Every structure is written in C-alpha cells, then in structure tokens.
Amino acid sequence: MLKVQAANAHTLLAEKIQHHLAVIYESIELPQTIESLTDELFAIMRLDDANVSEGTLKNSPELWSEKDTILITYGDSLHNDDEPPLSTLHQFMHKYCYPTINSVHILPFFPYSSDDGFSVIDYSSVNESLGSWKDVEAISSEFNLMSDLVINHCSARSAWFENFKKSEGIGCDYFYTASPEDDLTGVVRPRTSDLLKEVETPEGMKYVWCTFSPDQVDFDFRNPAVLKAFVEIIRQYLDHGIKIFRLDAVAFLWKQIGTSCINLEQTHEAIRLLRSLIEQAEPQAVIITETNIPNHENLTYFGNGNEAHAIYNFSLPPLLLNTLVTGSCDHLKRWLMGMPPAQRGTTYFNFIASHDGIGLRPAEGLLSDKEINNLLNTMQLFGGRVSWRTGENGEQKPYEINIALFDALQGTNQGQDKYGTERFICAHAIMLGLEGIPGIYIHSLLATSNDYEKVENTNQNRSINRHRWDYTALTEALDQKHTQNSQVLNRMLALINLRTNQPAFNPNATQFTLHLGGQLFGYWRQSVDRQQSIFCVSNVSLEAQNLNLADMNLITTDNWKDIISGNVIDSQTHNITLQPYQTVWITNLYE
C-alpha cells in the first residue's frame, strides 16, 4: 500500500513539473521531450518513489514562527587575522546573537570577480578567503542558513563564460545574446551601463546581455541545460545544510526582445518549478525572491501561494525612513492598510537596511517625485550617496540611497539632532512587530556608521554600508557598556528577545492598521489562536505625543502591559504620553 501511495505521489509530482516546463518552454523547440527533462530534474534532485511524499504535495509544513529572526551579513563583515572570516562570524553569532537570533543570511560566499560577491565565478565552491564548506556546515548546524542563488547572471571570468568565448565546452551556450539592431528601448534595468557587451568568438562577434554590469553576463534560460545546471547547484546547497534560498535579481531571469524583460510569465513559472522541486527535496526549505521593483509588481511573486514562500518587503525601508525624517506616518500608514495579508504558506520578509542601498523603485506610486527628492537631499546631508538607473526611453532616475541606516536616522529634514539612537531603535521596533519575518543587517545590529574610506577605495557607492570590522576592535567596543555599538546591540537584542516570546508576532498573525493621527504610527496584532493581542504604537515625531487608549478599544476586563517599558496599564489609565520616537507594545498576555 505504501509503495502504491509513493508511486502515485511521484506521478503527481511528475505531472506538476511537466506542466511548469510546458509553460516555460511553450515557444521553444527543445532538444528533448518534456518527460525526459522531468526525469533528469528528478535524478538531479534525487527524487524517487522512496522520498516523494503525497503529504508534502498537499500540505505546507509550518516553516516559520515568532522565534525567527535573520541576521544579514557578508562572510567577511568581521575579520580576525588568525582564522577564516566564516569561523569568526560563527564565533560572533554564538557569543552575541544565540539564541535570540536563530538564522543567518550569508551574502554570496563563492569565488567572485566583482559586486562584492554577486558576480559569481564558481557556484560549487566556497571562496578560499572566507573559509570552506566545513565552515558553512558548522554555521548551518547551529543556525538556519540562507544563501543567495545568483540565478540571473554570473561572472564574465567564470569557466562557463570562457567556454562561451571559445564556443565549446560546458557553458558555451548558457548566455543570452541579442543584436544592437533589436528594439531594446523598453528594457527596464537597475543600472546605466551598456546593456550589450561585445564578445569576439570563433563564430563571430556576439553581443551578450548584461542587465547589471559588463562583468555580470546574463544566462539564457531558453536553454534547458541552464535550468539543469541550477538544479544541480540547489541540490548541492541543500546537501551542505542550506535551507533558505534567496533568488537574487530573479525578476530579470527571462528575456524576450520587444518587451520590458522584467517580470515575464516564464520567470514566474520558473520560480513555481523551483519551488515544486525544492520543497519536495526538503520540506523545511524556503524560497525568498529578491525583486527590487514597485510594490504592486513585487506582490505578484507570491503567485497563488505557489511561487515564493516569502518576498522582500521592499517598500518598507524608503517609507519608514521617510516617516521618521518627516515626522509624518501618513504614507506608511496608507501603504500598510493596502498590503494584503500573506496567504497560508507565504509571508513577508521585512528589512529596513541591507548590503544594498535603500531602494527607491519600491517607493514609486507611494511617494511623489518631490517627496523622493526631499528625502534624497536629507540623506545627502547625513553623508549618503545616490545611485541611478536607466528608465524607459533612456532617462536617468534615482535607483537607491546609499547610506548606513544609523547615520540616515541621525536627524530629520530639519537637520541633525539628539534623537538619533532613539529614532534608530524606533525604526526597528516598528519593523520587528510587523507581519512577516524580520531581517537585521549586521551593521544595524552593531550601529556601524558610513564607511567613506571604503567608498573612496572601491569607487562604489554601496561600499558606504559594507564596512569590515576588525573582530578584536569590535569585541572591545561591545564589551564596554557605554559605547554606541554596545548600547545599540543590547537594545536591539532585547527587542528581538521580547518579540520571540509573543505569539501575536507570528509572521502570519492577524494585523490591522490603527488610525491615531499623523505622528503616532500603530497597528494591532492578534495571535493565530486569538489568545494574545498586541497594540504596537510608535511616536514618529520630535514632539511628545498623547496616546488616548480609548482610540485602541482596549478591553477593560483584560489586564494590559507595555512589555517594552514593563509598565502595567490598569483600568484607571486613560492616556499615555509617548516621548519622541518611543514605542510601546501593549499586550493582554504577559508573564
């Protein structure tokens, strides 16, 4: 009986994969049948009758909870001369983060040629300057490990591209080419460099598609060999303990001349295919799509609950930053009210700082051009830089703000003030309470400031927020009570620790936006079992604000407490005064 069920499950999965492939390659003449391609993918992922589960095909396991927080870091954000940086990172996380932070996203840790890792030379090995697969596995044995799958492009110095230039060997047909005569005016890109790169080959001059830079050459997924190569990479990563896959720049995966070459249907279907394979090979695995695009486009990567398990909440960073430097939460509140709850099996990935800048495309349609320009001017006052992109018809538009978040929040549009740290903590308190899984950039956790020297050395704006800490100097700073780094780390960890003990902060718990005026930003969370409520309210202004508890309809028969301050709210309390940038988490269920 069990063998029959397994065979049935295997057949159902095969039919599902064949459907995905038929959609992706509908207009492509393949060198093999869809059925044989499916068999090859099954073999690569080691999906046979014995390990294909009918239950997994029908039911999503519980993949996340309020206990989950992800630290975002480069493999060499911390360095110690006597050991591999990945080992140093592991020591730091074990000493300062465990068990409060249970997951880590290590940005590309593979051999690379540019873009701080996102121009991968070899997907199958660990960059020797960082460590080895043994170091990666040591981290994955203690923390949930998230890794990038740089799926849109690879390095122009990779073996695959060398074979392309020779027109022979593995990779010789892996890359997308076009003609300078093609109509490419509608192509949407995040960079201003030339789209096509001239490459001399034995077959003549070819023009290779480069969405991001001349060193990052785009794959041609019309060739199923490229798909098979990436499925092999995924299988290897699973074998090394990686459970969370960040699909980098995946919105650009499929190209079609005459279109925008972004968010095409084949791209969405490819994500559905990868999810079907990955979740069957490892039921606890998660796919997160990195699509730095306008909010309404970003939401489409949930599909019908069958694409990304989680999507980056890209509109949150620019809207929250704008809120805290203007003192008005109107845009943030309006956006949050319009965000649909993530359906079962999906959630949001919330962050407000990362290795990249603060993206401005996700603010399109949410902030006016004038408001974006005002935000740019304020950030430049605090030492920030602006990176640009090429829009439709070739016009230049601001793409992102490059600045360390700690410096970005040192003041408002009125200038720098004394509330920088409080404003910074407020930003994270807002983010930590929201529906979704929170991601904390290591330089936010450590209150790292702008690295102007690195910008000068690399001539790259993004380097401003990619500092490398000497581990000895860092531990000395963290072990002193009164340093900026120590105080911020302790306050951040205290907030995260509070969060992990609240069922109402489950990533899929109910959320409603509160209407408390322009200076008080608030929302209500309720646990899945409806036993716990938390009212999260933050003063986003420079002036103290009065919070009328009647506006939140607290049930007077319950006992309430702000778990951040520890203050109990009894039946005689009708108002609370929130100091500038103070946050309260008022709950009816507490110890």
Q: Which domain holds residue 210?
A: 153-218
pLDDT band at 526 (very low <50, low <70, confident <90, very high): very high
What's the CA gap between 112 and 114, in Å, rounded? 6
The last residue of one of the domains, among 183, 218, 253, is 218
Q: Which CATH number do you get for residue 514?
A: 2.60.40.1180
What's residue 344's pLDDT? 86
Q: Is 248 annotated as a binding residue?
A: yes
Q: What is the pLDDT of residues 123-136, one digit of tens each?
A: 999 999 999 999 99
Q: How would you class 179 by CB atoms within 10 Å of its CB: exposed for 0-12, middle for 13-18, buried for 19 or more?
A: exposed
Q: Is residue 571 part of a domain?
A: yes
Answer whether residue 103 is part of any domain.
no
**Is residue 356 part of an annotated ligand binding site?**
yes
Q: Determine whether 55 is exposed, middle or buried from the number of CB atoms within 10 Å of its CB (0-12, 13-18, 19+).
A: exposed
Instruction: Please say if the pLDDT value at position 4 is more than 80.
Output: no
Q: Is 81 annotated as a binding residue?
A: no
**Which of 173, 190, 218 finishes a domain?**
218
Both structure tokens of 454: 């690195």
User: Is 336 annotated in some ligand binding site?
Assistant: no
pTM: 0.95
Domain-located, residue 317? no
Give a yes or no: residue 333 inside a domain: no
One-letter amino acid at 216 equals Q
Q: How many distinct structural domains can be found in the chain?
A: 2
Residue 524 lies in a domain: yes
pLDDT band for position 51 (50/70/90)?
Answer: low
Q: What is the pLDDT of residue 60?
A: 60
Give the number of other Cβ atoms within 10 Å of residue 141's Cβ.
10
Count H helices, E strands: the chain? Answer: 18, 28
DSSP string, 560-584: EEETTT--EE-TT--EEEEPTT-EE
Closest C-alpha among 251, 248, 247 to residue 262? 251
301-352 per-position pLDDT tens digit: 999 999 999 999 999 999 999 999 999 999 999 999 999 999 989 999 999 9
Does 76 participate in catalysis according to the annotation?
A: no
Q: According to the annotation, is 153 in a ligand binding site? A: yes
- Picking from 186, 218, 250, the residue at the C-terminal end of a domain is 218
Residue 530 placed within a domain: yes
Instruction: Note whether residue 434 is domain-resident.
Output: no
What is the predicted pLDDT for the residue at 88? 98
The DSSP symbol for 302 reads G
The CATH number that applies at residue 205 is: 3.90.400.10
For residue 547, is it within any domain? yes
Looking at 135, 248, 407, 562, which residue is catalytic?
248
20, pLDDT greater than 50:
yes
